[in-house]
Amino acid sequence: MSQKKISIDDVARRAKVSITTVSRVINNVPTVSNKNRAKVEEAVAALKFKPNVSAQRLARGVNNAIGLVMPGYPGIFHSFYAIELVRGIGHSCETLRMDMVFHITNGFNPINNNNVGGVIFADIIENRKQVESAVATGTPCVIINNKVDDLDVSYVSIHNHFGGELAADYLYSLGHRDIAIVSGSFNTQAGIQRFDGFRKYLEKQNNPLNEEYIFEGDYSRRCARVAAEQFLKAKKRPTAIFAASDEMALELMAFFLEKGVKIPEELSIIGFDDNPACLYGPVALTTIKQPLFKMAEESVRMLHKIIQEQKHVRKKLILKPELVIRESCAPCPKK
C-alpha cells in the first residue's frame, strides 16, 4: 500500500468541497453547513489526515525561517520588480534575524511549508491553489502586490488604480488627447488595475481611449516593441504613451528614437516602477514610482508580527504610488 502523504487537496477531493471549506472545518469556523462539515469530517477520518504543524513549531521558537514564493516568469533574474522584492525582504530578514528560503514556482507543484514558519507570496499569478493550501493548513501567510478580498489572508499591496490615474492626469494636464497605453498582462491584478485607472480617468474627461491606442503587454521589452510598431502604423500617431512598466517604457523610447521621433518634443512617454535605469537612458524617464522596497520590508514585518502573536489576525496595507517627473514628457505639440 502506498505511503503517500495525505494533503488537504486529497481531503477536498474526497469530500467534493473546496480547500477553503476543508480549512474552515479543521479550524472550527461555524459558517460551514452541517452537510459539508459531515463530508469533510468523514474524509479526514478516512484518509487519516493531519494538518500542517509548522505554525505551532514556529510559535515554540523552533523555526525562524520564512519562505518567499516568486512566480517563475521569463527574465525573473533581470526583473527590477523581483530584485527589489528580494532586496527588501532580505534586508528585513537580516534586521529581524530571520532566514529566507527562496522558491520559484510554476504554480503547479505543491509548496513544502514544513521547512518555514511563514510564507510570503510575491503576487498570485497562476498559483492561487498554492496560496489556498498554505492558508488552509494554518501556515502564516502574507501576499505582496495583490489586494485579496476573497481569501482570509494578509497582504501588502500598491494602489495600482491610483497609479493609472496619476499617469493619465499628468499627460492630460500637458494637453495630450491622443494618448496610448501599453498595459501589463490582464492575467495580473496590477495590469488590470493600472489600465482601469488610466482608462476611467480619461473617460471622466470625455476623452475615451481610442481602440487603436490600446495594447495589452506583459511587462517585457519585446511586447513594447510590437506595441510601438502598432502605434506607428496607426492612422494618427499618438502624442503620448503610458507604459505599465519602465522596461516597456524604455523600449518604446528606444524604438521611436530609432525611427527619428523626438522625445519629448514629438512624443511623451511615461512609465511605471521607478527603475534606476530610468535615469541613464538617452532621455530620463518620467514614471510612476511604486515603493517596492518598502512593500517588501513591510511584508516581512507583517508576517513576523503575525507569527509572534501566535494567532491569526488578518492584516492589510495598501501603499500609494507617486509621480516622478523627469524629461520624457512635454506639452502636446501644436498642430
Q: Is residue 238 part of a domain?
A: yes
Does one domain contain both 98 and 192? Answer: no
Q: Is the dihedral of CA 69, 72, 77, 78 positive or negative?
A: negative
Q: Is residue 17 part of a domain?
A: no
Does one domain contain both 284 and 304? Answer: no
State which residues form the domain around 261.
160-290
Question: Along the 335 residues of the chain, how does pLDDT read in single tens digits?
Answer: 345 678 888 888 999 998 888 877 876 667 788 898 899 889 888 888 876 544 444 444 546 788 899 877 666 677 788 889 999 999 999 998 888 888 887 766 667 777 788 899 988 877 888 888 888 878 889 999 989 888 888 999 999 999 999 999 999 999 999 999 999 999 889 999 999 999 999 999 999 999 999 999 988 889 999 999 999 999 999 999 999 999 999 999 999 999 999 999 999 999 999 999 999 889 999 999 999 999 999 999 999 988 887 666 788 999 999 999 999 999 999 86
Does one domain contain both 200 and 285? Answer: yes
Does one domain contain both 154 and 164? Answer: no
Does one domain contain both 171 and 183? Answer: yes
Does one domain contain both 174 and 141? Answer: no
Q: Under the phi-then-psi rule, with left for phi > 0, alpha for psi from -120 to 50, and beta for the rest, what region is 274?
A: left
- ∠ CA(58), CA(143), CA(273), 5° rounding? 135
Q: Is residue 49 part of a domain?
A: no
The model scores a pTM over 0.85: no
Does one domain contain both 136 and 238? Answer: no
Does one domain contain both 283 and 229? Answer: yes
Does one domain contain both 73 and 191? Answer: no
Does one domain contain both 154 and 165? Answer: no
CATH number of the CATH domain containing 143: 3.40.50.2300
Number of H helices, E strands in the chain: 11, 12
Residue identified by cell 503576487 is 123
In total, how many domains does the chain have? 2
Q: Is residue 34 part of a domain?
A: no
Q: Quick one: pLDDT at residue 4?
A: 67
Does one domain contain both 284 and 302? Answer: no
Q: Quick one: pLDDT at residue 51?
A: 67
* Sequence-ordered list of residues with C-beta below 8 angstroms from that of 292, at least 6 positions apart, any chain: 80, 81, 84, 85, 88, 273
Q: Quick one: pLDDT at residue 10?
A: 87
Does one domain contain both 119 and 202? Answer: no
Q: Is residue 252 part of a domain?
A: yes
Question: CA-based diameter of the chain, in Å?
Answer: 79
Q: Is residue 28 part of a domain?
A: no
